[in-house]
Chains A and B, each alone.
Chain A
Amino acid sequence: MSINDPLSPIRLQLMWDRLIAVVEEQALALMRTGFSTSTREAGDLSAGVFDLDGAMLAQAVTGTPGHINSMARAVYHFLDRFPAKTMKEGDIFLTNDPWKGTGHLHDFTFVTPTFRRGKMVALFASTCHVVDIGGRGMGADARQVYEEGLYIPLMHFAREGKVDQTLTDIVAANVREPVQVVGDLYSLATCNEIGCRRLIEMMDEFAIDDLDRLGKHILEKSKQASLEQIRKIPFGDYKFSMTVDGYDKPIDLVATMTIGDTGIDVSFDGTSGVSAYGINVPVCYTEAYASFGVKCIVAPKVPNNEGSLSVIRITAPEGSILNAKHPAPVAARHVTGQMLPDVMFGCLHQALKGGVPAEGASCLWNLSALGGPGRADGDPAETVNAKVFTIMSFHAGGTGARPGRDGLSATAFPSGVRNVPIEVNETISPIVVWKKEYRQDSGGAGEFRGGLGQIMEVGTLDDAPFAIAAYYDRIDHPPRGRDGGQSGMAGRVALESGHKLRGMGQQTVPKGEKLIISMPGGGGLGNPRKRPMALVAEDVRQGFISSDSARRDYGVAVNDDGSVDEAETAKLRAVAAE
């Protein structure tokens, strides 16, 4: 078959590659211009191209999985509200509806139809996290979504090229950083426009008038490739449950995974009901993180699109924390959502008889610090002259140990964020970070050790209290090991003076105090006594574990000079084997 044949696999691949390049370019444009920390440092954004029915054909690989198919689903909602045939050239649509977008009000989703020679040929969508959306600000404390900020239903951002000034005025009037937020709205519109432009160039170059044949090829190939991988796993039902801290009471995350010939179905029946606070998850976001977890193990190399996503189907009972309905508060939905890959790994562990990581810290341990009048509790006179600042930096505990490899220390998973340099935060605020180092013995012991968490000590140069918006989990329920591996060390939030803080909610760090954040380590994998003693001794030498832990958890006696006391070790390990 020749390459010019419309069905030539090479030609179709060239076009597919180009389509992925187009959405990567779209995402890059957004990342370069976005204002919120999570957009630019964490790649908390998404960009994709869709056919006229709303099926996603290609999506950029960005920093967080939270938008994987939530954005894909969003386009169907837009097409329901604004049928394709009513869309005009120059129209741009938007929403921040948590249930029809990507899970909380901070995320805006933009959809732009692409017209070529007067005919609509595709849609581009993009999502990013804006720096503020009014209301209580980013945090888990709201009791209803109304408190969480401004809510923009599915509507036009621009009609035939003309931006709705009334809308941008309303947004500007309702948020704390109007210039940046409205700037981000324009970034979203621009990145879609770049996508449209590149798509038209591509269609000209390859001389195609529609994406029908290419779209069909992409969706079928991706679906088949995903199914092929799924069919290698023994069919059956696999149940797993994991309990996490929640805001005010523990949450059970319960899943049944059914693996069969037509794909993987996950039901979250049995999961706890909605929370009174903003850690609830709209089902679109549940789908995103759960399917990401499945995909990591089952088909990591198949690109994201309607074809590959259609074989991983996620449901959660209405009214559960994983399918919270309006008007439940949802701002910090990532705290719960980021736990779902661990639950999926738990199911797949049974199906695959191994092959998955142990549980990790999983939810981010961000430093979200706020200063200025009215931000902290106590006598308002103390803060009336305090410096106004908002600091947001992404931080992570340890990941679970992997088959054949230790977990990653102080590294985000499932989110893919980057931190903000301490020197940068100290330049733009009075915050001082006194310490940020690995937390010894926090990685769960195992043949493969869990990743270490870290300890951060935070104070301020200002003569005033400041507040933190906490949304930390794994304080009461540390990440568990698998196959005989031990749990990672639980997280802890406290003041230097010893007072323990809550894991969730806005709290005050009094004047002159330091905040100490101890992040959880990942769970271990396999029996720690099988870990080669040389590796255990090396961990002691590097200070990743203490010699006490080496002896207690690994059965290895390490001398003061870092060498192994082999006779003593043999004794210790023999006792353990009995």
Chain B
Amino acid sequence: MEKARLAVDIGGTFTDLFLEWSGKRSSAKVLTTPRAPEEGVMTGMAEILKTSGAKPSDLGLIIHGTTLATNAIIERKGAKTALVVTEGFRDSIEIAFEHRFEQYDIFMMKPPPLVARELRFGIPERLDGRGNVLIPLDEDAVRALAPKLKAQGIEAVAIGYMHAYLDGKHERRTREILAEAMPGVSFSLSSEVSPEIREYERWSTAAANAYVQPVMDRYLGRLDEALRKLGVTCPLFLMTSGGGLAALDTARKFPIRLVESGPAGGAILAASLARRCGLDKVLSFDMGGTTAKICLIDDGEPQHSRTFEVARQYRFLKGSGLPLRIPVIEMVEIGAGGGSIAHVDSLSRVNVGPESAGAEPGPASYGRGGTEPTVTDADVVLGRLDPGYFAGGSIKLSPEKAGVAVDKAVGKPLGLARLDAAFGVSEIVEENMANAARVHAVERGKELQDRTMIAFGGAAPIHAARLAEKLGIGRVMIPSGAGVGSAVGFLMAPVAYEVVRSRYVQLDEDKFDPAFVNKLFAEMRAEAEAVVKAGAPNAKLVEVRTADMRYRGQGHEITVDLPAGDFTAASRARLVELYETGYAATFGRTIPGLGVEIMNWTLRLAAEQPPVDKAPPQPADIPSKARGSRPVYDPADQDMKDVSVYHRADLTVGSCVPGPAIIAEDETTTIVPKSFAARLTPIGALLLEKVEA
């Protein structure tokens, strides 16, 4: 019998589990237990094993994602960490970019560094920008440091030397000396964690890795033990922020690569659906209680990047967090969710979010003491949510409480009737998301029109169609199991590893050395292969190589996919051509006569995925039967109008629901506006398509 595969996603509030066994799927949702997250996991395991009928020995694979590392950084509950740097640069991780991310706020605070100044130490040593040694490592100074670190009770040490991305020998030697004197302490080297040029970001990443390492190590140890006790013998893989799976020892070595794993799972789910349905241009839209995440997926692949910010001081404001240079799936996250609070500002403008009512007290309509109107409250007032059937009926909603809150905070200050005020809140939050999506697209040089939106997360199906309209998108897909979307995505991720190197290469005719690049990639391949083979020993491997390139004199690079195979002298012209194609696609033109240079090289190696089952074609429409109707706000008539209500469970493949309509299910509600029609597709997803007028 085929072995079962289990995904476990620990989020801030809930721990989601999803199990697939011989074609059958089960899910479970339990409360997260922040102090000992493995307890929540074990509770959920017991539940899902029961509902699926599987025994621990039936499990063939467990894939796990967790926000534990992120939370340790946000809540500053990591290890007592020291940072050892090149003498003269003790303050780089605190000086950061020297800028203010909030121009007009004279009270702005910068995020405090993870390692305070008293625990940052300079060591005499120095490489130059070509990797030559200007000052040899002062080993005596390193030896003299050990007793100081011990006296401070240091649990983790990050080491960051200037230009160590070119050669980590001084960092490695420093570790050797210190490790001998300090058994049991963990070490994070900037040349291993993030071997990229730009000292602040590299050291910030190394420091964050060191900071979370002991915490993650202990947690993963406890989880492993608990699983063994239960009788689980299968391998455990960790979901990384880059969308690949990592084996346990890689995760323990580079725990910082696990920070954004949940959202990555959502993007992978959307990418997998895109491949199954042959959608080459997709926008994935994940809207939960607090945030919305938008990710662009072209040709079945999400955008990758190596820039991430954790623990933003000002919620969602770029530049206000700690930068991490780790492989991530590129997405934009904004403070727009069902719990986002609406208020009117001094310019009589409606603001929605980023403050969220969270789960406690929650939206006013929950009746748990919340008095401020949220997006969910607006949806209740507008009739979009069934007060008696929210979260499968587990939470009774009060339309009156929602209405009073909307009146007080928005209606009265603006002189708007309740319905208009509620519709305003909904329109503003949708506009905010639309603007974030547009900016994200510009930054990536992408268009939004003609994409298919894949929407999941509790609040997304309510707002998806309207957001799509604002973005000029005519197709919206809502997958089944949208409520545990990230966990579902985990099961679709490959074992993968990404390696990066900063090597400055000018693409001038006399300067390009193909042998140098081939040697570099051979080393990178060997490093990645060791990691991936450990997790997927027999798999065929897929390699993707990229380079971060720019015109000489520019400060930002664009990432270009490189052709397979060895480089030759003829590759130089090809590289320039690839860059110019990418540049033109992003910025609409090229700049003739200007030299091109490469700053970084990456290699991503993944176990080959089994080919996806292509979705069968959509059968002929079958009329669907409504369960009843209820009044819902109609923007054109500006009044409540009766709208048919369907249950998703009643629909069969081919069922067609013309808008306006509501399609209800336990975890969410889909709004089909008048201008759309919904169909249930052969893969169980709802597809909303704009009806040509």
Contacts and interface: CB of A to CB of B under 8 A. Distances in A.
Nearest to A434: B88
Contact of B91 (A221, A404, A438, A461): A438
Given A2-B420, A18-B435, A424 B197 contact: yes
B99 A411 contact: yes
Given A28-B442, A418-B97, A402 B106 contact: yes
A17 B435 contact: yes
A4 interface: yes
B350 A10 contact: yes
Nearest to B105: A300
B553 A131 contact: yes
A290 interface: no
A3 B117 contact: no
Contacts of A559: none
A436 interface: yes
Given A417-B98, A426-B129, A432-B128, A14 B439 contact: no
A357 B134 contact: no
B163 interface: yes
Contacts of B350: 10, 13
| Interface-central residue, A408, A421, A541, by most chain B CB under 10 Å | A421
Interface in A402-432: 402, 404-405, 408-413, 416-424, 426-428, 432
A32 B556 contact: yes
Nearest to A341: B106
Contacts of B129: 423, 426-428
B100 A421 contact: no
Contact of A296 (B104, B424, B431): B104
A426 to B, nearest CB: 4
A410 B345 CA distance: 33
Nearest to B130: A427
Nearest to B92: A436
B587 interface: yes
Contacts of A302: 346-347
Contacts of B443: 28, 32
B504 A427 contact: yes
Given A296-B104, A457-B88, 8 more contacts: A228-B346, A395-B98, A419-B99, A423-B129, A426-B162, A428-B129, A454-B91, A543-B117
- Category for how many chain A residues contact B: 35 or more
21 contacts: A1-B416, A2-B420, A3-B420, A3-B423, A3-B427, A10-B414, A18-B431, A32-B443, A33-B587, A37-B555, A222-B347, A295-B104, A405-B107, A408-B108, A412-B99, A413-B106, A423-B163, A426-B163, A436-B91, A437-B91, A542-B117
Contacts of B105: 296, 300
A63 B346 contact: no
A72 interface: no
A268 to B, nearest CB: 22
Given A3-B635, A35-B554, A543-B118, A25 B438 contact: yes
A24 interface: yes
Interface stretch (A133-141, A176-184, A207-215, A491-499): A176-184
A436 B95 contact: yes
Chain A: interface secondary structure? mixed
A421 B589 CA distance: 28
A63 B104 contact: no
Interface in B434-490: 435, 438-439, 442-443, 470
A225 interface: yes
A437 B589 CA distance: 41
Contacts of B551: 35, 183
Nearest to B413: A9
Interface of A: 1-4, 8-10, 13-14, 16-18, 21, 24-25, 28-29, 32-33, 35, 37, 40-42, 61, 63, 65, 131, 177, 179-180, 183, 186, 190, 194, 205, 221-222, 225, 228-229, 295-297, 300-302, 356-357, 394-396, 402, 404-405, 408-413, 416-424, 426-428, 432-438, 454, 457, 461, 541-544
Nearest to B199: A423
Interface in B302-348: 345-348
Contact of A221 (B92, B98, B116, B348): B348
B197 A421 contact: yes
Interface string B588-614: 110101100000000000000000000
Nearest to A541: B118
Interface of B: 87-92, 94-95, 97-100, 103-110, 116-118, 126, 128-129, 134, 162-163, 165, 197-201, 345-350, 414-417, 420, 423-424, 427-428, 431-432, 435, 438-439, 442-443, 470, 504, 551, 553-556, 586-589, 591, 593-594, 635, 638
B319 to A, nearest CB: 8
Contacts of A37: 555
A177 B98 contact: no
A9 B416 contact: yes
Contacts of A541: 118
8 closest Cβ contacts across the A-B interface?
A435-B88, A10-B424, A300-B104, A426-B129, A2-B638, A427-B129, A21-B435, A542-B117
A421 B103 contact: no
A18 B470 CA distance: 11
Given A405-B107, A426-B129, A225 B638 contact: no
Nearest to B198: A421
A419 B89 CA distance: 15
A349 to B, nearest CB: 13
B110 A419 contact: no
B89 A424 contact: no
Nearest to A357: B106
B98 A412 contact: yes
Contacts of A3: 420, 423-424, 427, 635, 638
A410 B197 contact: no
A179 B555 CA distance: 16
Contacts of A183: 551, 591, 594
Given A300-B105, A423-B163, A25 B88 contact: no
Which of B118, B134, B555 has the most C-beta atoms of chain A within 10 angstroms of its own C-beta? B555
A408 B108 CA distance: 9
B88 to A, nearest CB: 3
Nearest to A396: B98
B128 A405 contact: no
Contacts of B438: 21, 25
B134 A420 contact: no
B108 A422 contact: no
A281 B555 CA distance: 29
Nearest to B636: A4
A180 B95 CA distance: 30
A131 B594 CA distance: 14
Given A10-B423, A10-B424, A432-B134, A412 B100 contact: yes
Contacts of B199: 421-423
Given A301-B104, A411-B98, A423 B198 contact: yes
B168 to A, nearest CB: 14
Contact of A63 (B103, B348, B424): B103
A388 to B, nearest CB: 13
A65 B439 contact: no
Contacts of B470: 205
Given A1-B420, A411-B110, A9 B414 contact: yes
B555 A24 contact: no
B590 to A, nearest CB: 10
Q: Which of B163, B423, B553 has the most CB of A within 10 A?
A: B553
B336 to A, nearest CB: 13
A25 B431 CA distance: 15
A120 to B, nearest CB: 23
A544 B91 CA distance: 11
A4 B432 CA distance: 19
A190 B118 contact: no
A437 B103 contact: no
A179 B117 contact: no
B134 A427 contact: no
Contact of B415 (A1, A41, A422): A1
Contacts of B116: 542
